[in-house]
Amino acid sequence: MPSPFDSVPLLRDIAGFYRAPEGECLSHLIPSAQLSPIEQPKAVARATRWIEDIRRTHKPQASVTDLLARFGLTSNEGLALMCLAEALLRIPDRATADALIRDKLGGTHWNEAIGTDAPWKLNVTGWALAITGKVIELDDTEWSSPGAALGKLVSKLGQPLIREAIKGAMQWLADQFVVNETIAGALERAKAPAKEGVRFSFDMLGEGARTAADAERYYKDYENAVEAIGAFQAVHKFKRPSGISVKLSALHPRYEIAQRGRVMREMMPKLVALCEQASRHDIPLTIDAEEADRLQLSLEIAAELMKQVRFSGWEGLGFAVQAYQKRAPAAIDYLAALARSHRQRLTIRLVKGAYWDTEIKRAQERGWDDFPVFTRKCSTDISYLACARRLLAADWIDPMFGTHNAMTVAHIHEISRDPAKLEFQKLYGMNDDLYRLMQKEGFNTCVYAPVGDHDVLLGYLVRRILENGANSSFLHSLFDTNVPIEKLTADPVAELQSHAEMNHPAVRRPPQLFAPDRANSEGLDLSDPFITEPLLAEIARFRQLPPRVNAIDTNSLDTMHALAKKGYAEWSSWPVEERAVKLEKLGDLLEKNRAELMALLIYEGGKTLADALGEVREAVDYCRYYSARACADFVVRDLPGPTGERNQSRLVGRGVFACISPWNFPLAIFLGQITAALIAGNSVIAKPASQTRLVAKRIAELIYEAGVPVHVFHLAPGGPDIGNAIVKLPGLAGIAFTGSTSVARGINQALAAKDGLIVPFIAETGGQNAMIVDSSALPEQVVDDVITSAFRSAGQRCSALRILCLPDKAADKILAMLAGAMRELRVGDPGRLETDVGPVIDHAAQQKLLEHVARLKKEAKEIATTALPPEAANGPFVAPQAWEIPSLGWLKEEVFGPILHVVRYRTEALGAMIAQINATGFGLTGGLHSRIESTVRQVERDLHVGNFYVNRSMIGAVVGSQPFGGEGLSGTGPKAGGPHYLPRFAIERVTSNNLTAAGGNASLLIAASK
């Protein structure tokens, strides 16, 4: 059977492998990842010789390689160090810096972690303390015990010198990863190795620009660097010139496929200019590979560069390809075909990939059908080796191999026809021992060398520590003599074949994330144009909305209620498993009709594409989660008691439940309430919001199509009069309501005034949601999460961020970045892929928000307002905006739209800030960005909110993972999508049966006689 990788390498074919089944990809790769029986022992012998040599001669020093080898990521100490290195240098204030140090160095077990390995111990002690040794007095025991020494350090944190010394240590750590802070300094350091034939590829630190200003600054850095490297080469005329590596996410603040048009317009000219500048100096320029969802765009850019750059004989343009991606072989074929068709040599740097954990998490969160990367380390190795063979066979391609793995190097050396032409590349500071040996044996080598300030080092640093600190990493095991060399030189194919399944069982594929309880809802990869283009076309088919749904007559409610009572009698007698079958079918129907539902959400509800997709997924999750929970919980339970008596409890439906839902989640909240009430055995009268009746009507049709009997579910569209009338229905068994606090209060009072039953009232209401940031937080992460939390869904989520609380010392920096990032948002037609923020629900909502803006204009300070496009004049748009308000108390009520309020607080006044948030009386969502565990614990303990989010956005609660709902003015609980929700829709009945009534206790006699 021909390999699909052999087919015409068009972009569509590449996309076909994006999330392809792992086994399928690997079965095509395995044959070309193996060595012949003659080659294999030769490669193993070479790698073994190197490893033995390294283990014999390596002198432990306070280097990064040693640090990683010692601590790894499985120890608390490793993680503590990583966190300290990541955060300490950016903290501007003493109190937070001290808290972080205490947090990371105080509680861990350094003595055990460092062990008794004498040279190492000396070195680490030296590392941590040499810098501080001048500052504190240590006695002999303390000197020989790193734990004691660090403990003493921490106890003296009040002394400024100590803090500075630890900062110095972290600076030292950062220095191990960065060749120099300036390109001039870096070139100076490169001179000697370059004379010995080592080439450098300089990486100007900085990635993921959030603002146009950042992107411009990074561009200038690249431009200066190319100029400097070019001049350096002109002077020294090294045989193998050094070059530059470029991250495209640094050159554009929205380097993502959804913004393809802008990227092509705004970034391409800069990139072409950089390439031509490199071409003029005849130095190599390689484009780094970043997250998987950027690959498609990077390949499109490669094609454009081939068209636009005037190469004039330059052969230095290169692209990095990550072998851990399933698309790697097809991407190589594509680049090779580009090179061939333009008759232009290209370089390809083959790397294994640096974002593995991010890719796995992202795919799980987004509910994709599979991962874009392999799930076993040996599979990544197989892919790397198969790709290497492919590269070596390609004409018009000059391969470069980025790896620190001795066996990988030996394998490639073995399959190469002309090893003298190969180039191997390493990261600065990593596995110098191996590369020294390789150089002695005549290998061409290159060092990827980061240059820049420590404050932009962090993303790079953390990736390096993560990828090399894992137990599976070659570098982590290199110095561990407990790991036999045979393990390090093992054939990855043999290793893979020793496993029963290709996928790693510990890495759950997204569809199985909640197995065995239920299937995960299906997500779509909106970064894949081969998914989004047909999806958009299908959604467009439903653009013409059906006619408006009329309100029912209040008089018809009594009939509806009577029918619903009949429905209850029938439905509650069904076994719960049968009710569950219907709801699971409903979940499947939602997925089947996804495009139509998304169209309704977009064109009736103003949702963007991503929000509409997220909402369909949430609704599907409700169907499946509540079905699974009910089947587990609505069973007859035996209760303990004396012998001769059987005590059993069971949950049964209450009667006719009213479900009253808002317009902001016209599918997910609407259906969440309904499915909970139904699965518990109730019949339902559901009143959707007036603004979103079309969604509700379509859902009602699907509920019936799923097999829920007509008398069991009733749709009651209408305005507040219908809502009031429903609440007053005599004999109603309960109400589930989501909406404003004031309406909830009205319902509560109406229920209290009613004669007859006292029934459950489950209310989810508004929030005055705040996010607290401390100065240990990473501004980029804060800004991303603030934008998502405050502006996604045009701020019309109950969970949305309303008040951002910033520490006075870090506020200006964060606000400048936030303002820049807000300028990059796109407001407009929610049906377009590039739209970030759609309209608000209607003109009344717009008007109310604009009135609030008028007050802000008078009494607050504007931070930023996103520009509205001309088309916004045609709809109820409100520009995303951020304002600094005089105090938290200034904000009197929930502002339900894309308006963010900012307050500053003094670090020492964190407790008072929390008290002010609590004093609003609301308690829905809260957020915190901090690297300090003790702060996390403090805020978690003291902030009274139903859902607390740490170092992430505050929206998008996932059914079953983040049960959702507030306290205080924000709702009654229990939480939707949580384990305590369904019982509230049910009554509990207990039967106590005296089994001895008919005579004696036979079972006791039998049991006792055994």
Ligand X SMILES: Cc1cc2nc3c(=O)[nH]c(=O)nc-3n(C[C@H](O)[C@H](O)[C@H](O)COP(=O)(O)OP(=O)(O)OC[C@H]3O[C@@H](n4cnc5c(N)ncnc54)[C@H](O)[C@@H]3O)c2cc1C
Using the rule CB under 6 A, is 205 a contact of ligand X?
A: no
Q: How many other CB atoms sit within 10 Å of the CB of residue 321?
A: 27
Q: What is the DSSP string of 279-308?
A: HHHT--EEEPP--GGGHHHHHHHHHHHHHH
**Beta bridge mates, 971:** 764
Binding mask 485-504 for ligand X (x = CB under 6 A): -------------------x
Which range in 401-409, 513-521, 849-857, 906-914 contacts ligand X by CB under 6 A?
401-409
Structural tokens at position 228 = 């400097």
CB of 405 to ligand X, least distance (A): 4
Q: Which of 17, 202, 219, 356 binds ligand X (CB under 6 A)?
A: 356
Q: Which of 405, 627, 765, 796 binds ligand X (CB under 6 A)?
A: 405
CB of 507 to ligand X, least distance (A): 7
* Nearer CB in complex with ligand X: 421/637: 421
Q: What distance in Å separates the CA atoms of residue 127 and residue 150, rounded to the nearest whole number?
A: 11
CB of 338 to ligand X, least distance (A): 18
The sign of the dihedral angle between the CA atoms of 485, 488, 489, 494 is positive
Which of 86, 290, 604, 764 is the catalytic position?
764
Structural tokens at position 481 = 């003599």
* Nearer CB in complex with ligand X: 252/426: 426
Q: Which of 114, 198, 229, 351 binds ligand X (CB under 6 A)?
A: 351
CB of 463 to ligand X, least distance (A): 8
Of 267-296, binders to ligand X (CB under 6 A) are: 288-289
Classify 636 as helix, strand or coil.
coil
The answer to whether 176 touches 64, Cβ cutoff 8 Å, is yes
Q: Which of 253, 402, 605, 831 binds ligand X (CB under 6 A)?
A: 402
What does each C-alpha distance from 5 to 36, 303, 493, 809, 1005 come to in angstroms? 22, 20, 19, 54, 73
* Nearer CB in complex with ligand X: 411/693: 411
Contacts 24+ apart (CB under 8 A), 697-702: 697/546, 697/549, 698/593, 698/596, 698/597, 698/600, 699/667, 699/670, 699/671, 702/586, 702/589, 702/590, 702/593
Binding mask 700-739 for ligand X (x = CB under 6 A): ----------------------------------------
Using the rule CB under 6 A, is 19 a contact of ligand X?
A: no
Using the rule CB under 6 A, is 406 a contact of ligand X?
A: no
764 an active-site residue? yes
Which range in 60-68, 141-149, 319-327, 845-853 contacts ligand X by CB under 6 A?
319-327
Which of 142, 798, 824, 884 is the catalytic position?
798
Give rounded-to-5 percent helix, strand, coil for the chain.
55, 15, 35
Q: What distance in Å separates the CA atoms of residue 380 and residue 326, rounded to the nearest whole number?
A: 9
Using the rule CB under 6 A, is 411 a contact of ligand X?
A: no
* Nearer CB in complex with ligand X: 385/945: 385
The β-bridge relationship of strands 683-687 and 199-204 is: unpaired
Using the rule CB under 6 A, is 352 a contact of ligand X?
A: yes
Using the rule CB under 6 A, is 925 a contact of ligand X?
A: no
Using the rule CB under 6 A, is 74 a contact of ligand X?
A: no
Size of the chain in residues: 1010
The answer to whether 88 touches 105, Cβ cutoff 8 Å, is no
Using the rule CB under 6 A, is 353 a contact of ligand X?
A: yes
- Using CB under 6 A, count the residues that bind ligand X: 35
* DSSP class of 512: G
Q: Which of 120, 218, 314, 324 binds ligand X (CB under 6 A)?
A: 324
* Nearer CB in complex with ligand X: 236/463: 463
The sign of the dihedral angle between the CA atoms of 683, 689, 690, 692 is negative
Which range in 372-380, 514-522, 846-854, 936-944 contacts ligand X by CB under 6 A?
372-380
Using the rule CB under 6 A, is 510 a contact of ligand X?
A: no
Q: Which of 176, 408, 930, 953 binds ligand X (CB under 6 A)?
A: 408
The answer to whether 89 touches 174, Cβ cutoff 8 Å, is yes
Location of structure tokens 């080592």: 198
CB of 470 to ligand X, least distance (A): 6
Q: What is the DSSP string of 381-447?
A: HHHHHHHHHHHHH-TTEEEEEE---HHHHHHHHHH-S-GGG-EEEEETTS-HHHHHHHHHTT-EEEE
* Nearer CB in complex with ligand X: 130/490: 490
Binding mask 445-484 for ligand X (x = CB under 6 A): ---x------------------x--x-xxxx---------
Using the rule CB under 6 A, is 658 a contact of ligand X?
A: no
Q: What distance in Å separates the CA atoms of residue 895 and residue 875, rounded to the nearest whole number?
A: 19
The answer to whether 181 touches 453, Cβ cutoff 8 Å, is yes
The β-bridge relationship of strands 645-653 and 986-994 is: antiparallel
Q: Using CB under 6 A as the criterion, which residues of the chain lie in contact with ligand X when the complex forms?
A: 288-289, 320, 322, 324, 349, 351-356, 373-377, 379-380, 402-405, 408, 425-427, 448, 467, 470, 472-475, 504
Q: Which residues are catalytic?
A: 764, 798
